[in-house]
Structure 1
Amino acid sequence: MSTMRTVRVEGERLYDISIGPGLLADPVRISHVLRGRHALIVSDSNVAPLYADRVEQTLHAARAGMQVARFVMPAGEQEKTLSRFCQCLDALATLGATRDATVIALGGGVIGDLAGFAAACWMRGIDVIQMPTTLLAMVDSSVGGKTGVDLAAGKNLVGAFHAPRAVIADTTVLRTLPPRELCAGLAEVVKYGAVFGADFLGWLESHASALAAGDDFALTEAIARSCLYKAEVVSRDPYEHGERALLNFGHTFGHAIEAEQGYAGAGSQALNHGEAVAVGMVLAARLSSALGRASAADAQRLQVLLQRLGLPTALPAGLDPQALLARMRLDKKAEAGGLRFILWDHAGLASVVRGVPDELVLDVLRAA
């Protein structure tokens, strides 16, 4: 990866997504977005040993007299809890973080969500700089300002919209990413092609082998294109009142799978977030076909692409369709009038569909 790319997110709050190699060690870039002299690095037990020292050195180089502390929590979706959130707030209190302090979210989606939520709540809102270390976080969760934690009842049920001051995506960190995590991020990349760009979906099909192999050029291009799609949508719909909901393609099914499996993806047989979304997108495409909105051939095309990228496309064994349906009813995307799904009319064009009959959803789940 030899070229640095910048994507501007407009709207109520302007910020840049910087994509390129070596950015975690670039004090000039970070100095432009630091306002105060307190910084809390929030990371997990997998990422902190690899990159926290580097980021702390960069912060000190960016501004003399920086007071830097760390909050390092165990890795895994199961740790994205109110308890860990409170511990993060305690770390800010111990640091003596002022209103111009900055939270540095160094990690994957779990860290970005929890650290961003802590930043949103500390003194009613301080800056957060997202430094995503997974492909999934680079193309999805670090962009757009969605933050939150999980409850036993469901994923991301407690949270806030809190836009970052900047997103700094150092692409060199992807070289240390386990293959399973790289593949999980590709699911979210595919989502952008599925709902916004048939041309991008075709590009992904042409470069599937390179992406699955971790090719630097292909990944950089995929990240930049994905961020551009999300930036455009977030700029127009920052609080998900309309078009931004399309970014949830596959997520109603996927979140239900994650919740029913207990968020146990890391290091287990259960699906992680990207894998659950991959299955969810296939189920959503099949539901689109069952409703007569899209052809079965489109669903098959999506399934083949996801499989080429090393992702699962079938519902894990042992999951009860009725239990999954109950999870969907509690999902934050549900409405009083019934279930709401993001479905597609064909590859590259999706829409919000309300009032989908429960029995049709169950038929799709049973068939999977």
Structure 2
Amino acid sequence: MAWNEPGGGKDNDPWGGNNQGPPDLDEALKKLQEKLNSIFGGGKKSGGSGNGGDFHLSAGALGIVAVLAAVVWGLFGFYQVDQQERAVVLRLGVYHETVMPGLRWNPPLMDEVNKINVTKVRGIASRGQMLTEDENIVDVALSVQYTVSDPANFLLKVKSPELSLEHALESSLRHVVGSSRMDQVITEGREQIAIDTQERLQGYLDTYQSGILVAKVNIEDAQAPSQVQDAFDDVTRAKEDRERLKNEAEAYANGIIPEARGAAQRQLEEAQAYKEQVVARSQGEAQRFVDLYDEYRKAPKVTRERLYIDALETMYSDATKVMVDVEGGNNMMYLPLDKLMEKSAVTRQTAGSEPDMRQLTDKVIEQLRRDSQSSRREGR
């Protein structure tokens, strides 16, 4: 049963029973004024009409209220700036100062404090199709990492720093890509394009006084449009094959050229050695001839016979068979020197002596005499 239904009873009346309704607002306000007047030392003023009396605060009470209000106002002015932050203070809407990390105080209601993180590395990404210097279309995707270098400029100079950064990034990238060939953008020139884009982008941001410092520009992807990607893949493979063949040719050249130079140097050294050998042998032969001539002048007969014997020794040392024309006969005498040498070798092995050329010569002469005598007898 609801409290306001008939028969509910006074216990169901939220205002205290007897269905009196809510208390009078004026009476409640009057009681509150009396309590405050008694606390702060005031008193009632007789009005004579029975309407109650207004209360007033003493000077001491007003001072206490003012002090309390000032304390509360001062406490609201304290704030903490973290180590990675800087605080930009606006006084009555105008830039006042940039506050460093630590416990700070600024008058509330007058100053507005904006904390900005200056160490956090932020990033944005961009992607788009652009026209190169050689009039080809490329699809480039890149990302930018940046930090806040000047909190005041970042907060006040530019309305939307991130949006300005995106526009400046697109402008910088289009300018750099438009000044480069397509093969540079797609293959080996990515790093240089990223560097040039970063320099130009930082120049734009400094001109805008955006308070942004670009830390890194990364070219994440650069390729031809999907409609012609297969053709550009073929071109890329052809360039890779060209570089591979070029490297193989250089490797072959690096291997064959030193060998050719070594062979040429060897031939030069052999020629120089042969030249020195021929010159030395010629000088030796000339000196030998001079010495021999001197000896010949001293004893011509003995020297002539010695030369003749030396010539025979030299000639017979390489001959195995000798044919001798016998005087007074028509037959040629045959001397088997190889057989004689074998017999001589057997004799030396048996006797244990060294070979003697003179003994062999004596045997040859003895054999010649015998053959000469037999030829003469046959002629008679």
TM-score tier by shorter-chain length is under 0.3
**TM-score normalised to the size of structure 1?**
0.17
Q: Which has the larger radius of gyration?
A: 2
Tell me: higher relative CO, structure 1 or 2? Use CA pairs within 8 A at least 6 residues apart: 1
TM-score (norm 2): 0.17
